[in-house]
Amino acid sequence: MAENRLIIFDTTLRDGEQCPGASMTARQKLEVAKQLARLGVDVIEAGFPVISQGDYQSVREIATQVKGPKICGLSRCLPKDIEVAASALEPAGSAARIHVFLATSQIHRRYKLAKDEEEIIQIAVNGVRLAKSFVEDVEFSAEDASRTEPEFLARILQQVIEAGATTVNIPDTVGYAVPEEFASLIRYLFENVPNIHKAVVSVHCHNDLGLAVSNSLAAIKAGARQVEGTINGIGERAGNASLEEIIMAIHTRPDFFGKIEIGIQLKEILRTSRLVARMSGLAVQRNKAIVGENAFAHAAGIHQDGILKKRETYEIIDPKIIGWDQSELPLTKHSGRAALENRLRMLGFELEKDEIDNIFSQFKDIGDKKKFVYDDDLIALVEGQISRI
Ligand code: KIV
Ligand code: ZN
């Protein structure tokens, strides 16, 4: 794969679905997976097959029906998990990826796993070797990597790559990292894992401090070439990194990120977001970047005037490229004459200056009383104006 190609790994159907209240039926997951394929993600993490019969079936169905992306199943470094994942992924053939994970931080080693460093390395290596006996494409995640001693992290990554891992993932499992520090960790790994170039370096960030996207972008800038996240940022606790935000940041700022190639069909972004919201039952907040209802809505009079003169005055992305019809200029008490005149023209009214003056002052009165001034309100105002003549 080209050095500048960024692999987009979507875990909406695994980590995203772990979000309380987000679980989906097998049929819903299949619909989302098909849409993710249309969006052009490189890897779909379809589930965690060992956790339930339903998850097993759903991963198997996706592995059977969805073509294009790699289909991935999560697994602990345990023989039973890996065998079940391999069986669920079997219909995907060479497009199957097994993703094994094991916690590496001191707090997890001591309290959760009660294992020392050497035992952890051995379990990880055995897990990767067993996964490799089923599929060529094996990802290893060092759970809680951002709180792991960097020297130990480097040591275990060297060993799992030696054992056959083709991707090594550095999760910020508890959303603890901050961008500069996380980027330094990625650079440290490039400098201190001698065989690192035999694997793709991946990152997987959680949003507990609201930094998941920033941390992911900092890691990409430092050389990571796979990024994991979810649509709409759904996921455990405060969620995962939002893929649509990462993709659009890279697309919008090539001057900063350089020429990073991504295989995403941008025009499918909004449709995918809406489908995930419907299927997961998790509504998107209005002011969510890229896909929120207000992401391309301009309310202030000065902004509306600017947009009408030249869209780029207040918009850094053309909303049409990601599937929106156009920018929105909702009419509120903040709107100015330019937006009012524009809307009146769209409604088919070409009025004289003094008529617009009259309507504008009545329009402001309505705006003071309700959140939005609707087209019907304007039509009533125009009719009132016209009937006076
Ligand atoms: O957050 C995390 O550490 C995970 C791993 C399983 C990759 O979701
Ligand atoms: Zn996670």
Q: What is the DSSP string of 22-45?
A: ----HHHHHHHHHHHHHHT-SEEE
Q: How far is the CA of 197 from the centre of ligand 1 (A)?
A: 22
Nearest protein Cα to ligand 1, atom 5: 143
To the question of whether residue 368 is assigned a binding role by annotation, the answer is no
Q: How far is the CA of 284 from the centre of ligand 2 (A)?
A: 20
Alpha carbon 225 to chain centroid distance? 15
pTM: 0.94
Count of C-beta atoms within a 10 Å radius of residue 219: 28
Which letter, b or e, does each residue of 182-205 get, where b requires 16 or more Cβ atoms within 10 Å of its Cβ? bbebbeebeeebeebeebbbbbbb
Hunting for tokens 């617009």 — which residue is that? 356
- Reading the chain (389 residues) residue by residue, the pLDDT tens digits are 778 999 999 999 999 999 988 999 999 999 999 999 999 999 999 999 999 999 999 999 999 999 999 999 999 999 999 999 999 999 999 999 999 999 999 999 999 999 999 999 999 999 999 999 999 999 999 999 999 999 999 999 999 999 999 999 999 999 999 999 999 999 999 999 999 999 999 999 999 999 999 999 999 999 999 999 999 999 999 999 999 999 999 999 999 999 999 999 999 999 999 999 999 999 999 999 999 999 999 999 999 999 999 999 999 999 999 999 888 899 999 999 999 999 999 888 889 999 999 999 999 999 999 999 999 999 999 998 876 65
Query: What's the maximum distance between 2 C-alpha atoms anywhere in the chain?
Result: 90
Query: Which token pair is 358?
Result: 């009259």
Count of C-beta atoms within a 10 Å radius of residue 79: 12
* Structural contact between residues 215 and 203, judged by C-beta atoms closer than 8 angstroms: yes
Beta-carbon contacts of residue 309 (< 8 Å; ≥ 6 apart): none
Q: Which residues line ligand 1 at a C-beta cut-off of 6 Å? A: 15, 101, 141, 143, 169, 171, 173, 204, 206
Could you give the C-alpha distances from 264 to 12, 230, 256, 260, 321, in angstroms and in order?
16, 14, 19, 12, 12
Atom of ligand 1 nearest to the CA of 18: 8
Q: Which ligand is closest in space to the CA of residue 45?
A: 1
- Alpha-carbon span 81 to 77, nearest angstrom: 7
Q: What are phi and psi of 197, to 5 degrees?
A: -75, -5
Hunting for tokens 């275990």 — which residue is that? 156
Atom of ligand 1 nearest to the CA of 206: 1
CA angle 169, 218, 273 (to 5 degrees): 75
Beta strands in 185-293 (DSSP E): 200-205, 226-229
Q: How far is the CA of 207 from the centre of ligand 2 (A)?
A: 10
Helix (H) or strand (E) holding 141: strand 137-143
